[in-house]
A and B are shown apart, each in its own frame.
Chain A
Amino acid sequence: MRFDELIHQPTRLKIMAYLTGLGADAQVEFGTLQRELELTEGNLSRHLARLEKAGYVRIEKGYEKKRPRTWIRLTGAGRDALEDHLAALEELARTARYPGAAVREEQ
């Protein structure tokens, strides 16, 4: 369980969660991801670049019906990091709801 500052940024969290929802080894086309998450091209590019640098997503460029396409997929490290981050968030939400729980567990 690890709180990840990089993933916690709202847009990056949505990107990561969306990619997880597609299932293992699934890829989404850049324009589709942009439309689905209602982001601008520049905004999505910037956040994807940071996630790629961290090794959380893989970006592949290619052609489909002679048109250039960019495909995005979540890596294994990205999936693990997101799961860890969500577990940390759940723990935070739980302790916020029951403030005494964390103290009792520490004892």
Chain B
Amino acid sequence: MDTNGFGAKEALREASAARGKAEKVLTVFSGRLLVLWGSVYLVMYGGGAMGWAPPWLWLPLDAAAFALSFALGSRVGEAFRTEVGSRLRRIWLGFGGLTALTLLAFMLRGTADPLFSFVVNQLVAFALVESGQAMGQRGLVRGGWTLAVVNALFFALWPDAYPYALAGMGALAVAAGLGRVR
């Protein structure tokens, strides 16, 4: 059967392409976030360890990355309403709240790095695992667990190499993110 010159094979191909385009929406979004935050890790831990990036740069860079993440999330939220999107919003709002509380508690107790970095990175790892599970993306779940293990191992056993390990995780995140965005 061929209706309006639109054959079965062509119709299946078109349907598959349209469906794939929709399925990529959240994948591309998560890819952009991975590139953004991977770059922050790469610049700050890698550049910091090599003396290129001064410690005061953390605050403005983090603030800019948070603002950009919020803008990206808001744009997706205005275009789509999905159950997964709502779950992602809850996960990252929770992460933001927990990080703010952690920051406040550490400031009041005078706790400095590297303990602060360790705790925040574990929170990031947990948010990545949760996001991966919400989106059904095993790569993101594995990435979150890898960050948690690397963060714990290097913090406990090789503190001198800790910034380099985190910079390496940033590079991995950038590579994984670029793979999703393409």
Contacts and interface: CB of A to CB of B under 8 A. Distances in A.
A93 B22 contact: no
Given A5-B3, A22-B25, A93-B9, A13 B14 contact: yes
Contacts of B12: 86, 89-90, 93
A89 B78 contact: no
Contacts of A18: 18-19, 21-22
Contacts of A20: 19, 22
A17 B18 contact: yes
Interface residues of B, number: 25
A7 to B, nearest CB: 9
A22 B80 CA distance: 9
Contacts, number: 91
Interface in B1-31: 1, 3-4, 6, 8-9, 11-12, 14-16, 18-23, 25
Interface string A8-32: 1110011111111111111111011
Contacts of B6: 8-10, 13
B89 to A, nearest CB: 14
B109 interface: no
A24 to B, nearest CB: 7
Contacts of B23: 21-22
Contacts of A23: 82-84
Given A86-B15, A89-B8, A93-B12, A71 B21 contact: no
Nearest to A36: B21
Task: Determine the interface band of chain A, counting residues with CB < 8 A from chain B.
Answer: 35 or more
A105 interface: no
A92 B15 contact: no
Main secondary structure of the interface of A (DSSP, over half): helix
Given A13-B14, A27-B80, A29-B79, A21 B8 contact: no
B9 A96 contact: yes
A20 to B, nearest CB: 6
B8 A96 contact: yes
A26 B1 CA distance: 32
Contacts of A106: none
Nearest to B5: A10
The 7 closest A-B pairs by CB, nearest first: A21-B22, A21-B19, A92-B8, A17-B15, A17-B18, A32-B79, A26-B82
Interface of A: 3, 5, 8-10, 13-29, 31-32, 36-37, 64-65, 71, 86, 89-90, 92-93, 96
17 contacts: A5-B3, A8-B3, A8-B6, A10-B6, A13-B18, A14-B14, A14-B18, A17-B15, A21-B20, A23-B82, A25-B83, A28-B81, A89-B8, A89-B11, A92-B1, A92-B8, A93-B9
